[in-house]
Structure 1
Amino acid sequence: MSPLAILITFSLYTLFIFIISWWTSRKADNESYFIGNRKSPWFVVAYGMIGASLSGVTFISVPGWVGTTHFTYFVIVLGYVAGYAVVSTILLPVYYKLNLTSIYTYLGTRFGRASYKTGSSFFLLSRIIGASFRMFLVVSVLQLFVFDHYGVPFWVTVILFMFLIQLYTLKGGIKTIVWTDTLQTTFMLLAVVLTVGIIIHAMHTSLGEMWTRVWHSDYSQIFVTDVKSSQYFVKLFISGMFITIAMTGLDQDMMQKNLSCRNLKDAKKNMTTLSLILVPVNFIFLFLGAVLYFYAAHLHLDTSGLTDHLFPKIALNYLGVAGGLVFTIGLIAAAYSSADSALTALTTTLTIDILELDKRYADRQEILRKKREQLHFLMMLIIIFVIILFKLINNEAIIAQLFTFAGYTYGPLLGLFSFGLFTRIPVKDKWVPFVAVLSPFIGYGLTKLLQLIFSGYQTGFEILLINGLITFIGLLIIKNPSKTKTHGNI
């Protein structure tokens, strides 16, 4: 597929996004931006969140991972279901009971101002790095296969994407994103399904025959029973559960959409539906990965070191115009879904939690709107800077470590919320930032110690749980016996 065709596809898709944005934001106000006026249909939110949950990492990386980790990622997905159940039954009732716009307001109610600022600051750091990494991954692929052809510098490509995202989310915020995400989800899923169909046709086989071939290959291995392995199935399941609790239930980006539902009942239905749909959806991505590797072998392609570029390389170079078109639309959808809601959530946290402008301008909504739009633009500039910084580093190992570090910072959030919800113990609020900052460093040291004690042990996603536990213990240490015990479930 030619770069010009990809560019035209990108332009038409973006135009469609802007039409949806115009339609949804015609009567938008500050409440529309932050929580969609609490009028979002739950089924629309659930469907749209599929794309937001998958993002560019799933679209590009998960099929490539099949070559080295086979189908073991599916165990994490099963853990997601358990995690969503926890979010639905424990966290959502608290958020709706307190009528929250930002979920970190809970920390202020439960512990105090320092804890409130700590939680929101950790989210800002985590989401800026995480969203920038996902955007970097997707834009790098488009840069390699399209914009390099026209001599467009990487930094220009990044600014273009982020400026477009900034424009269509600026006014409507969550009210717009709830609907644009449905479009992103549709095209991402279509891209996967149609790519499988195109490859099966090119290999002159049937879906049943391909399924049999995949199922009887090494790629279909789901459960690893080696305790020392980072892919040990018990470890992956527990990790998947706590990843969902921390990176969905304690993440303003993901929960802001849920809080836009009409009531708690609808929010729970949204969460349950999403968790069940994600199981077959993620399995399709894994199946696509196996199909891509079989097709690469059919073409005698060297797949070593391709991981993130396996899908784009085959789709754009070997599947003709149809395959290239399908992949391009899916990739653009992944790019937009990786950053639009993150930009809105970061702006919300900065506006409400850090600067508390909603209180300062409670009776001056027009001024609040202008301030919010200025912060929206500022967050766009920050994300652009971080993405370009990743490019300047130009070291996959370092970038991967930065992304891992962002995961570390969700551990303190897990510890803070767990302590608040499941104990009634008051703490010395001023010491909470110290505990939260120290926990990731202790967690990192502990992982190195485990590797020394248990030779060959590989720490995986469970570091999230370890950091949460360290934070929990730290809060016990700084408890404040002079205060009256508070209710853990406020």
Structure 2
Amino acid sequence: MRAIDIAIIVIYLAAMPLIGVMIGRRQKSSTDYFVGERSLPWWAVMLSVVATETSTLTVISTPGLVFGGAFTFLQVAFGYIIGRTVAAFVLLPRYFKGTQVTAYQYLGKRFGNGLQGTASVTFMVTRLLAEGLRLFAGAIPIKVILDHYNIHTSYWHIVVALTALTVIYAFIGGIKAVVWVDVIQWSIYIIGAIAAIIVLSTKLPSGWVSTASDQGKLALTDFTSNIFTGSYPFWIAIIGGAFLSMASHGADQLIVQRLLSCRSLKDGQRALIGSGIMVFVQFGVFLVVGAMLWVYVGGAGSQTVKDIAAKKLASDDVFPNFIVNDLPVGLSGLLIAGILASTMGALASALNAMSSSTVGDLYQRFAKKRLSDEQTLKHARMWTLIWAVVFAIFASLFTNSKDPVIVQGLGIVGYTYGALLGSFLLGLIFRKARQLEAIIAFAASVIGMAFIILFVKFDTKNGNSVHIAFGTAKAPDKALVSWWYTLIGVVIALVVGGLLSLRHRSAAPEADEANRPDEPDPDREPANA
């Protein structure tokens, strides 16, 4: 990389914390810190949601998916639109009641503090694993740059530096700073991706589209893959994507907190559904980059593609290496800044969401101590710092993997997303269900999914025969594809909780009140806690 590229990256790293501090330096209250006084425009929240879920996993890993497959990942993205639409009209109205600042406060009202705390802790553990992996992924391209200049350093040094820069504006500015910095960061990496497409188009022969198409790299649907073990079998990719998106955007505080910062329920629904459409388009852009890179490195006959197929190289490395070695001066710096943008945006979002959940769902509930607004804001900032340290330590423990990091990230949430979404649906569907049934159902879902993910294998050479493998699986055995995880987890929670609730003769006293949509005009003025 050239000096101007390095300058762009350095300027970006210095500018983002300063911009975040300027935007959010005048915090008025804890509600301002957590949900921006419910005054943010829906389009900004929409882009913040997209930036939050994108992270480095999408920017560097999605183009690499083409090397091992095609455009079939878009099937999952279509399922995302369906899942978010359902969440917007089924779950979101319950969160806009009163002055809630976390998704799990609904569970507290419907079932009790026990399940609210259980869900909150589960969210934190899941976020720690998933965002820790994302933070590590953000260090990959930086290490490529430093190695290029023979500056050898460890991943954990880079992780600590990224965390320190991010926590500056997350600590001071709260959700308002996080959202507006997300908007800037989303713009940077999208512009960078489009610029990469333009540059690649000048380097490829005129018939590159036909070359990619002839090799099946532009295929959008997959009706031939094994429904249990294939990468993206059509129906389960769409249905599984819908349930995954319902969980991630309807039962995960990371996203729900942003939606609660909208001015009204209607705006929140616009932001949520719009984010699904934007993500679909965004995945398409990055997959186009991947298809062009596949042709650029020589197609099926090239040694690079052969090495990736043989797992000698990580597909995640293809795009970062192209950015560093092949892009014109200035564009390399812009795209690396975009990757840093996605990393810092996702981390800032996680810090703010985990801080709000720690204070709102756990501390104030179980300490049995009512905090003043000033004390709540103080605790929120304290927990932002604590979680930043925890993230830096945890992300430093990851090592690079040959598997795409986006696949690893989706696998992590498979353990808990079904239980989280299942708890919300249990409260909505089964009016007789009480807290004990909900907690048992939650635990059964997590334990059941851990068992399925770790030990249930399919022998695809013998008619998809299923067997349990406690460390003795044969070579042809394959695990269940991750798109099933949330769906199965939800089914376990609903079946267990629903059956247990039959022992009650009447509906739970809290069921009607908790499930009644917000009575005031959904376009009400922003509420203060």
Query: Is TM > 0.5 for Structure 1 vs Structure 2?
Result: yes
Where do 1:30-429 residues align within 5 Å?
30-146=30-146, 149-203=150-204, 205=206, 209-226=207-224, 227-228=226-227, 229-297=230-298, 302-303=304-305, 304=308, 305-356=313-364, 364-391=372-399, 404-427=411-434, 429=435
Q: In structure 1, how many angstroms separate the alpha carbons of the residues matched to 2:441 and 2:161?
A: 40
Alpha-carbon shift at residue 195 of structure 1 (Å) = 0.4
CA pair 37-412 structure 1, distance change in 2 beyond 3 A: same
- The residue that corresponds to 2:493 in the other structure is 471
Q: Secondary structure at the match of 1:481?
A: coil
Per-residue deviation, residues 344-401 of structure 1 (Å, max 9, x unmatched):
101111111111279967563222222222111110111111111213xx66679976
CA pair 108-146 structure 1, distance change in 2 beyond 3 A: same
Alpha-carbon shift at residue 409 of structure 1 (Å) = 0.9
Q: In structure 2, how many angstroms separate the alpha carbons of the residues matched to 1:212 and 1:395?
A: 32
Are the counterparts in 1 of residues 31 and 37 from structure 2 also a CA contact under 8 Å? Answer: yes
Q: In structure 2, how many angstroms separate the alpha carbons of the residues matched to 1:112 and 1:458?
A: 36
Q: In structure 1, how many angstroms separate the alpha carbons of the residues matched to 2:456 and 2:498?
A: 23
Letter aligned with residue 302 of structure 1? T
Q: In structure 2, how many angstroms separate the alpha carbons of the residues matched to 1:254 and 1:348?
A: 12
Per-residue deviation, residues 190-225 of structure 1 (Å, max 9, x unmatched):
1110001111112364xxx54454444410112111
Structure in which a larger fraction of residues adopt helix: 1
Structure 1: gaps spanning 5 or more residues: none
User: 355-364 vs 120-129, which deviates more?
Assistant: 355-364
User: 126-135 vs 276-285, which deviates more?
Assistant: 276-285
Letter aligned with residue 464 of structure 2? F
Are the counterparts in 2 of residues 35 and 256 from structure 1 also a CA contact under 8 Å? Answer: yes
Q: Secondary structure at the match of 2:100?
A: coil
Select which of 443, 453, 456 maps to 2:449.
Answer: 443
Per-residue deviation, residues 154-208 of structure 1 (Å, max 9, x unmatched):
2222111101111111122111111001111101101110001111112364xxx
Q: Secondary structure at the match of 1:97?
A: coil
User: 334-343 vs 469-478, which deviates more?
Assistant: 469-478
Are the counterparts in 2 of residues 361 and 368 from structure 1 also a CA contact under 8 Å? Answer: no
Alpha-carbon shift at residue 252 of structure 1 (Å) = 0.6
Alpha-carbon shift at residue 231 of structure 1 (Å) = 1.9
Q: In structure 2, how many angstroms separate the alpha carbons of the residues matched to 1:302 and 1:313?
A: 12
- The residue that corresponds to 2:468 in the other structure is none
Note the aligned Cα RMSD (angstroms): 2.6
Q: In structure 1, how many angstroms separate the alpha carbons of the residues matched to 2:443 and 2:102?
A: 21
Per-residue deviation, residues 401-423 of structure 1 (Å, max 9, x unmatched):
68624321111001101111122
Are the counterparts in 1 of residues 83 and 246 from structure 2 also a CA contact under 8 Å? Answer: yes
Q: In structure 2, how many angstroms separate the alpha carbons of the residues matched to 1:42 and 1:30?
A: 21
Q: Secondary structure at the match of 1:389?
A: coil
Q: Secondary structure at the match of 1:218?
A: coil
Alpha-carbon shift at residue 19 of structure 1 (Å) = 3.2
Are the counterparts in 1 of residues 102 and 356 from structure 2 also a CA contact under 8 Å? Answer: yes
Q: In structure 2, how many angstroms separate the alpha carbons of the residues matched to 1:190 and 1:401?
A: 26
Q: Secondary structure at the match of 2:59?
A: helix
Q: In structure 2, how many angstroms separate the alpha carbons of the residues matched to 1:378 and 1:308?
A: 30
Letter aligned with residue 370 of structure 1? K
Q: Does 1:14 align with 2:13?
A: yes
Letter aligned with residue 118 of structure 1? T
- The residue that corresponds to 2:525 in the other structure is none
Alpha-carbon shift at residue 437 of structure 1 (Å) = 2.9
Are the counterparts in 2 of residues 9 and 329 from structure 1 also a CA contact under 8 Å? Answer: yes
Per-residue deviation, residues 24-73 of structure 1 (Å, max 9, x unmatched):
11321321210011000111111232222322111111100111121110
CA pair 253-136 structure 1, distance change in 2 beyond 3 A: same
Q: Secondary structure at the match of 1:355?
A: helix
Q: In structure 1, how many angstroms separate the alpha carbons of the residues matched to 2:79 and 2:16?
A: 33
Structure 2: gaps spanning 5 or more residues: 466-476, 517-529
Letter aligned with residue 49 of structure 1? V
Are the counterparts in 2 of residues 352 and 358 from structure 1 also a CA contact under 8 Å? Answer: no
Q: In structure 2, how many angstroms separate the alpha carbons of the residues matched to 1:425 and 1:194?
A: 56
Letter aligned with residue 62 of structure 1? T
Are the counterparts in 2 of residues 422 and 489 from structure 1 also a CA contact under 8 Å? Answer: no
Q: Secondary structure at the match of 2:172?
A: coil
Letter aligned with residue 351 of structure 1? V
Q: In structure 2, how many angstroms separate the alpha carbons of the residues matched to 1:354 and 1:212?
A: 56
Q: In structure 2, how many angstroms separate the alpha carbons of the residues matched to 1:407 and 1:457?
A: 16
Are the counterparts in 2 of residues 105 and 116 from structure 1 also a CA contact under 8 Å? Answer: yes
CA pair 121-363 structure 1, distance change in 2 beyond 3 A: closer
CA pair 402-216 structure 1, distance change in 2 beyond 3 A: closer
Per-residue deviation, residues 128-161 of structure 1 (Å, max 9, x unmatched):
1111111111212312322784333322221111
Q: In structure 2, how many angstroms separate the alpha carbons of the residues matched to 1:388 and 1:403?
A: 19
Q: Secondary structure at the match of 2:398?
A: helix
Q: In structure 1, how many angstroms separate the alpha carbons of the residues matched to 2:411 and 2:452?
A: 15
Are the counterparts in 2 of residues 114 and 432 from structure 1 also a CA contact under 8 Å? Answer: no
Identity within the alignment, %: 24
User: 118-127 vs 153-162, which deviates more?
Assistant: 153-162
